[in-house]
Structure 1
């Protein structure tokens, strides 16, 4: 959009209810403003469709600059739903500007993630898969979608669930959820391939506990797993303990079962 006279309320405020608007307050005499312009335009090109870029010449529109408290330029404000969601003053290198925008812009996938999560919770995981694959096709490194896709695949294809989780590293904010799902995917794979487990007195009870996890009968599964920790803690390289930890991570720290059984697991480990 050019910096010719325009209607700020229409072109920025109203538009921001449809798509975020990044407003660059600048002036022709401002050297840092001139340096920032190509950086803004380059990032706007890469993130096309995520926001609109509008330039406001503070010499031509001082009243708008005053209204939004612009005291130094370049001043960049991100408008979302009619209000300033975030801003900065001065210049940023291209990579820092893109990082700032990625944090500040609304998540374009949130509605589809919530749709997929609702489908999985309703037992319609197969319908969630294409939604999540579409997100990952557009954003392959988007870990929340990968975690949800692994959840959707967990029952029907645990090996594929493990593949889906491979790119998620320990620094990701999804690392705990991914680790829990990795454990569960490996365990569910044992139901399909029980020959992977060593023959031992604990094998039958262990597989039965895994079956209960798969059926989301978490309380009897935890009780059975903790009993296995007491009697056969080394079976499947400590698999019963790992299964308990995976359930706790899946349910979350605040869940009643996590609070109740975490202490029981500790007692079983240290008796």
Structure 2
């Protein structure tokens, strides 16, 4: 028909092949759209441009909901444009509406799997084994290639807590507001301040709790969180507000760093909570 706009590119031929199976080796961004949809016409060129810029990091596929109503129903499409990221055959993340290009870019940075996920997983395994120096080396390499990788930045902060705690705050400052890792970044800042006291115990107030607080700081520095929590419970038992409540802050930071399902957290949480509220 004269004056009719051409359909957008990247249209699927077979959803299982073009999206589900392909996403097992490459993330696939699926744009559910329709020709009559004005916002879809705004978002479509943005996605196409970003796909071209990605240099093969992810693929774009478009599903015309008028031609494929069964797919719209299968994936619960109530409003378009609806953009879903498929990874390993499943929807990993999504957004609805014609977001401005800067917001789409930020969403992609957060939602796309890191191309360095394997290296990051290896570094985290090193951290769990207490191999802090090789972990830091691996994480610096990841960040050199992917400076905005928030997970790698926090993991590096964790390694530096045991290697160079004075550098932790600068390392994690850029991700303090990140919704995924910001809380852990704050915990690392807190623990780095506590570790700094291990070498300067005279800065702690004169009190019977000072020796145990110093022991807790030393244990945190070496990565021995069980003994650290035991020492913090002792400090809380003597004075919950000692040094401005430092034992309370340090203990909570350890639980955030480890996660509440970590065996050490599960073993010590009841005693810590009891001392905190006694």
TM-score interval, smaller chain: 0.7 to 0.9
Cα offset, 1:155, TM superposition? 1.5
Cα deviation digits, residues 60-87 of structure 1 (max 9, x gap) = xx5xx35634899766554433456566
Deviates more, 1:230-239 or 1:242-251: 230-239
- Distance in 1, Cα, partners of 2:81 & 2:257: 46
Q: What corresponds to 2:218 in structure 1?
A: 211
Secondary structure, aligned partner of 2:174: coil
Alignment pair present for 1:266 and 2:277: yes
- Distance in 1, Cα, partners of 2:52 & 2:241: 56
Equivalent residue for 2:71, pick from 57, 68, 73: 68
Aligned-residue Cα RMSD (Å) equals 3.8
Cα deviation digits, residues 81-115 of structure 1 (max 9, x gap) = 34565667764432444455455533444433321
Alignment map for 1:183-222 (pairs within 5 Å): 183-197=190-204, 202-222=209-229
Cα offset, 1:119, TM superposition? 0.6
Equivalent residue for 1:231, pick from 238, 252, 257: 238
- Distance in 1, Cα, partners of 2:234 & 2:111: 48
Q: TM-score, normalised by structure 1?
A: 0.73
Q: 1:80 to 1:27 in 2, by over 3 A?
A: same
- Distance in 1, Cα, partners of 2:55 & 2:157: 29
Q: TM-score, normalised by structure 2?
A: 0.72
Equivalent residue for 1:140, pick from 138, 147, 157: 147
Q: Which runs of 5 or more residues in structure 2 are unaligned? A: 1-7
- Distance in 2, Cα, partners of 1:209 & 1:86: 41
Q: What corresponds to 1:169 in structure 2?
A: 176
Alignment pair present for 1:256 and 2:267: yes
Q: What corresponds to 1:111 in structure 2?
A: 118
Alignment pair present for 1:243 and 2:254: no
Secondary structure, aligned partner of 1:154: helix
Q: Which runs of 5 or more residues in structure 1 are unaligned? A: none
Larger Rg: 1
Secondary structure, aligned partner of 1:167: helix
Cα deviation digits, residues 231-271 of structure 1 (max 9, x gap) = 3555433323322323333343352311232112221xxxx
Q: What corresponds to 1:16 in structure 2?
A: 23
Cα deviation digits, residues 114-135 of structure 1 (max 9, x gap) = 2111011112111111322233
Q: 1:8 to 1:256 in 2, by over 3 A?
A: closer
Q: What corresponds to 1:126 in structure 2?
A: 133
